[in-house]
Structure 1
């Protein structure tokens, strides 16, 4: 790192660099670092004026590795960019090119400026030793410039408008000039860093604190296991595919718009962080706690150490009702009517729309006041013949098929034959 004298050290290095390379070619030549309005324009010289400084954003809020250790807080260094204005003066001559001289050479401010630019181009990087050599011997032990980062010299293009504003602010006549950017100058902070004792244990069990940061669970797909019957009913097994699904406590949460509480299910032991296997319940006691229709499914992950639950995105699942039709053989009455009853798992809620699909007709269920496990349908002008019936609850149909070794067949419990008298 460097002390607050680093700016002066860099300026002195640039001055000595130009003075050493140009002094052999021009007589009575010297390099100044004055403001342009204070320069002695009657002499042959190159003026290097520091007209602007800027904080280097690349180094802002960055700790130097050897200045602070993990767990310690240190003031970051002051990183600066220096902007210099390089101007050439050739004595009393106002001509940029002076052809008549004893050496029979092109002289003038143009040649002087070109030589100075060539020197800075050839010495675009200044290392620590070069800058330290430009510092007086009595100050070299004061850590005026000890940074490892080398100083880079690059031309800084300025438009004519920007250059005019600079010279207007200097309140002197315009001279042909070139701007340079010199970076980065790292000035060490004088404030001591905050030292801390080493940490012996993180938390009561050396596990640290709980955090909600990090990747949240993401769901990509919900599917039935390979080879299983399509569709979802109570008692079926689901595979939930995604990422970051692992944790100390994992729950699969099912939301239904008509149920007051969500249902949480535990994944099966063969689950992983990328795939959860969960089996839907089908006990008699839960038939009122579930409802056919559309569910929103999410995964909730909780880790030890506290912190809020991590909840994934939601994916839809259509839960089909399971029905059994009674009777399987129905006889129409004298008015051509027939009454059918269906047993439903899960129960149908009063706010749900339940319709029986038979042939090409939809029959609405008779009114009921509470969750019902059995629905009654009165069919007028009943068609005669054998039919596969389906129950549609809130847009989700029951599954009229059954899985066998030979494939899918129509479920006999969902068939009905209607005969005439």
Structure 2
């Protein structure tokens, strides 16, 4: 991999190859010809004049087609880099030869240019190092001392390319003040630019410890009232039936929470109490057997095996509904956790069900990650008309059960008399 100086170093290496080719003794050499890296519209200026030479101009940079998908800079859950971000680039050069037309200097220089680049189709480590050494002493290119393109493991190849007449015309149209001069195009591939960021890796394995044991995984047959699916809520006991449910250390995973079975557990039946730390919604339930505890100081017990998963619906419950001065306050269990989307439905108390006429719907957007659980919802009082309303709450697609109107605990809210 290379640092951000790889692009400029590749241009310098091409310049070095052509510079040596022009200064070596050869038939038909052009006196005082030199290699420049200018924009084509600056080739004829008062300080350069009409001197002969070869100009390198990087006119385009594109992602490398073969390696563009190789950059997958993973991060851990804290945002630390696991791998350094990598960008693979192809560099497209316009090589322009200029000189006295009557002496065919441009054509002689072009022949020398394509021959030199054919001799050096790969910018290898030795060539790149020689180019850096040759130009690092100059003020304009002193930055080359910090280049590490010579250490890149992927070879840097130089390939001639062909542009159509239309593409070449559009390219030269970018420089309207400069007339067309004899030119060829080359592609240099690949420049691998790696970001100098610190990466975080897991500690190396000091010692391998392998423990083998023959265990039969537990199997869940039913939850709740005997079906494959069940509905429950905070404070309710959830019964799990199956085979080989009891192990040396048994846990029940319900959604994101692990629960401990009650003491009367048997290999065929487990009972857990659903707490209000289990979010409302549809969750998988699974029986876990933990490996025997390790000696003190070792990592905590790991999961040795787990059962199949069945689904459990945890319903939200409206504990209390109070018509306040400015808001209608709804106390919920379980509370609303970060990321959960809630919908509140107010139905006419004389028609407890349905979402037709006489129903008011209020949407609560999901809470931002990291927010604390919210035990209550507030609905602006102005959103609900005067009267008696049966309240239902839907959390992540699971709706609370509407109790019959007039029974104790029924979630009915009534506006105070005007």
TM-score (normalised: structure 1): 0.42
Q: Which has the larger radius of gyration?
A: 1
TM-score (normalised: structure 2): 0.43
